[in-house]
Each structure stands twice: as C-alpha cells, then as structure tokens.
Amino acid sequence: MQQQLLKVMNFTVSADGVAAGENQSLENPFGDERARNLLAWAGATASWPNRTAPGGTRGIDDYFTRDYSNNIGAEIMGRNKFGPQRGPWQDHDWLGWWGDEPPFHTPVFVMTHHPRPSFSLSDTTFHFVGGDPATVLAQAREAAQGKDVRLGGGVSTIRRFLDAGLVDTLHVAVAPKKLGTGLKLWESPDELLDRYHLEVVPSPSGITHHLFWRK
Amino acid sequence: MQQQLLKVMNFTVSADGVAAGENQSLENPFGDERARNLLAWAGATASWPNRTAPGGTRGIDDYFTRDYSNNIGAEIMGRNKFGPQRGPWQDHDWLGWWGDEPPFHTPVFVMTHHPRPSFSLSDTTFHFVGGDPATVLAQAREAAQGKDVRLGGGVSTIRRFLDAGLVDTLHVAVAPKKLGTGLKLWESPDELLDRYHLEVVPSPSGITHHLFWRK
C-alpha cells in the first residue's frame, strides 16, 4: 500500500496571507465581500465541484480543482469551516454550508471539543472528534482506506497540523489582492522553506499557485 | 451524465515539435537517445505510473502525471505506439512494450488495418480496430462507461483526430531542446489557436506545458 498523504488543497489566501472565507457568517458563507472575490479563480474552472452551468476553463487552474477529489478518502476540517457556531451545540439542526450534496463524498472529521452525533448527507458523513492532530489524523487515515486525507482548513487548523509536522503537501493559491487585516496563514511562504520544497507557478488568472512538499 | 471528453495527455515534444519516442525500436522502446531525454520531466515526478523507487517531485509536473488516469475509461492509440511491427501480424507473440502490468488499467483501442484478437494483461485489455477516427472514438466512449477517453498518440494518430475535429483538450509538454528532424506534431502551437484556447505554463523542470481546450 502506498503512503497515505495529508494534503492541503486549493487553499486560497490573499497576497498578504489572509485566508479567503475570512469573517464567514450565516449571511456570507464564503466570508465578507473583500475576501470572497479571492475564490473566483476556482469558480471559473470546468471542474469546480459546485459548478452547475456548462463551460468553464480547462487551463492550469482546472488541474487544481480537478485534483480536489483525486485519491482522497477523507477530509479533516476545523469547526469554523463547518459552521459559524461557537461553544456547545445549541441543537443539531445545522448540517453545514453545503446543502444536500456536500462536495466531499467521503467521511469528514470536524475537530471540536463539543460532542455531537455523526450524520450523513448523500455520500458524505460528518464525524465530530476531539483530540490532538495526530489522533484525528489516525482516525481519518483509517476511514480513508488507503487513500490520501485532505486537510480542509481553516488557517488555525492548518497551522496546528503544520506545527505537529503532519502535513505532507500543500497547494496554496495566492491571490494578487492584499487584505491587510485578518487571520493569516503566513507572513511569507518562505516560513516553510526549512521543511518543504516550494514551486511557485503563476496562472493567467492572476493566481500564483504555491506547491509545497516535504524535503 | 457529463460530457465524455477526448483528451491528449502528457504528450511530449521537442522545442521544434518533434515527438518524444521518435525512432522507437525493440532495442529503444522510448525512441533513440536524443528523443528519450525529453521524457525525463515525467520520470522525475512522484506520480509517474512506472515509478518503482520512492521519492519524486510533487510540484507542477506531478499534477500532470497524477492526472493521467483521473476519470479516464479508455485509451485510443496508433499501432506504432503499440509496437514496432508494420504490415500484417506475423504472429501474436508481441503484447506491447509495457510488460505484465501496462499503465493503462482500461480498455485500449489500437488502430490498425490488420485484424488481431483482443487480449488482456492485468486490468488492461487491448482491442485492435479498423475504421475512421469517429468510429473508433464511438467504440472507446462506449467502453469508457461515462468516463473520458485518452488519445495516446503518436503524432500521426493525434493529427488524424485533430483533422476530424474530435479532440476536446490537449496537454502537450514542450521540452527546451530542439531535435531538428523527425515527425512533427506542429510547426508551432499557434496552428491550433483558431479552434482552441491556449495557456502556456512554464515549469521549473524546463518543460513548458501547453494546455488547449476547445473554444
């Protein structure tokens, strides 16, 4: 059996490292206006999972959206990616941002200190798990049945797994726009160069794809 | 059901358009020395299908080798890709260049005027089919069961399908070296610009990836 990688995929930040989706709320599930535009590069591609209209580009950006589910058997996400609630669950009505057909199609492990029963929507099952990153990753790997595991974000979750030395590859899409304030993935991508190879690939869309893999 | 694309993938040519694998022979299955080096970019990646050693790069070139089997349900190839024989089959001993585990893992349709029974190696089945490109593509689409079809080459086969207007996307990897003589895919990629969008993506490996999709 091949090694099961832990992969950050299609994670988009501003030119100054602020994550797209910042200031997510019920009214603005992709974050406030200024951050939402950062994700336009993915929405323009033919393979964007939420695409309903035909068409879309099939250039370099499409290789990244197309690769999103390639050999992925599970996702790990922080609670803030799952929903806007904080603290103990008031009820179990909230089923995520993604409607009846979430784009994951695998088990999803939502990291939270607050217990909640698992549930399924179409072919996605959400589990709510406590524990440190290594423990959660072991659960996700088991569920992935030999396939790779996607680390979905947000920023705090990615940084915890980076600090624990558990991330094998990262694809970070850097948008040309600066946001100034907000939770940052990094001050500079150079922070990872002691542990990772880096290739920087500019796209005609204006996005600069940053590809990291372990040294 | 989604549209079933016909895709040229990871097809490598010299800076002057000559295909890698030129002057293929029993002794030199990847072509003569000067052309063989063109394929080094793919062999260096972690996802190269014939990789046996661990390691390999996970930068932009790896997205292309990784995508090779993604949602592909069949391949079409010219007879010259299948083997060095010309004319009627003298016997049926030749089973392709690829040993007991060919990297296709799908039905493969070999275009030839000379009939031969189908055979299987591991999870690849080779069929030998006559007929024009549209007829062969219809057979391959049926076999692909809703997935896309890869057009494997060589140059003459790709040009026939291009002339028939049947190719949906092309990924052509252009190596920095000129070869001077040999069968050419094109004099210039600009020849396709009347019918295709083009993105040109340079890789740190020295390869320039050319991505075409229909207008």
Its ipTM equals 0.89
DSSP per-residue letters across B134-152: HHHHHHHHHHHTTSEEEEE
Nearest to B67 among A46, A67, A201 (CB): A67
Residue with tokens 């089973």: B95
Q: What is the DSSP letter of B175?
A: P
| pLDDT of residue A30 exceeding 80 | no
Here the contacts of A40-49 (C-beta below 8 Å, separation 24 or greater) are A41/A12, A41/A173, A41/A175, A41/A203, A41/A205, A41/A206, A41/A207, A42/A10, A42/A12, A42/A173, A44/A205, A46/B213, A49/A103
Q: What is the DSSP letter of B106?
A: S
Report d(CA A47, CA A39) in Å as an integer: 14
Contact residues for A54 (Cβ-Cβ < 8 A; gap 6+): none
With contacts defined as CB-CB under 8 Å, which chain B residues touch A64? 63
* Contact flag A213-B59 (C-beta cutoff 8 Å): yes
Q: Choose the mutation target among B62, B65, B201 for the interface with A, i.e. most A CBs under 10 Å.
A: B201
Does A94 reside within a domain?
Answer: no
Does B92 reside within a domain?
Answer: no
Confidence band for B28, pLDDT divided at 50, 70 and 90: low
* Contact flag A63-B59 (C-beta cutoff 8 Å): no
Tokens of A80: 């803030």
Quickly count: other Cβ atoms within 10 Å of residue B152's Cβ.
21
Q: Are B105 and B75 in contact (CB under 8 A)?
A: no
- Report, as an integer, the average pLDDT of B78-90: 90
In SS3 terms, chain A reads as CCCCCEEEEEEEECCCCEECCCCCCCCCCCCCHHHHHHHHHHHCECCCCCCCCCCCECCHHHHHHHHHHCCEEEEEEEHHHHCCCCCCCCCCCCCCCCCCCCCCCCEEEEECCCCCCCEEECCEEEEEECCCHHHHHHHHHHHHCCCEEEECCCHHHHHHHHHCCCCCEEEEEECCCCCCCCCECCCCHHHHCCCEEEEEEECCCCCEEEEEEEC
Residue with tokens 């009505």: A93
Residue type, B38: L
Does A111 reside within a domain?
Answer: yes
* Contact flag B209-A70 (C-beta cutoff 8 Å): no
Nearest to A60 among B46, B58, B211 (CB): B211
CB pairs under 8 A between A and B: 53
Nearest to A211 among B58, B169, B211 (CB): B58
Q: Which domain holds residue A37?
A: 6-87+101-214
Confidence band for A53, pLDDT divided at 50, 70 and 90: confident
Q: What is the DSSP letter of B17?
A: S
Q: Are B135 and B69 in contact (CB under 8 A)?
A: no
pLDDT confidence of residue B51: 79
Confidence band for A17, pLDDT divided at 50, 70 and 90: very high
Q: Are B48 and B65 in contact (CB under 8 A)?
A: yes
Does B90 reside within a domain?
Answer: no
* Contact flag A201-B199 (C-beta cutoff 8 Å): no
Does B95 reside within a domain?
Answer: no
* Contact flag A59-B209 (C-beta cutoff 8 Å): no
Does B1 reside within a domain?
Answer: no
Does B151 reside within a domain?
Answer: yes
Q: What is the DSSP letter of B11?
A: E
Least confident of A29-38, B13-22, B60-69: A29-38
Residue of A nearest to B214 (CA): A58
Count up the domains in chain B and report the number.
1
Report d(CA A193, CA B188) in Å as an integer: 38
pLDDT confidence of residue A139: 98
| Three-class SS state of B33 | helix
State the CATH number of the domain containing residue B175. Answer: 3.40.430.10
- What is the least distance, in Å, from the CA of B207 to any CA of chain A? 13
- What is the least distance, in Å, from the CA of B103 to any CA of chain A? 16
pLDDT in tens, B93-137: 999 989 999 999 999 999 999 999 999 999 999 999 999 999 999
Contact residues for B138 (Cβ-Cβ < 8 A; gap 6+): none
pLDDT confidence of residue A1: 44
Does B91 reside within a domain?
Answer: no
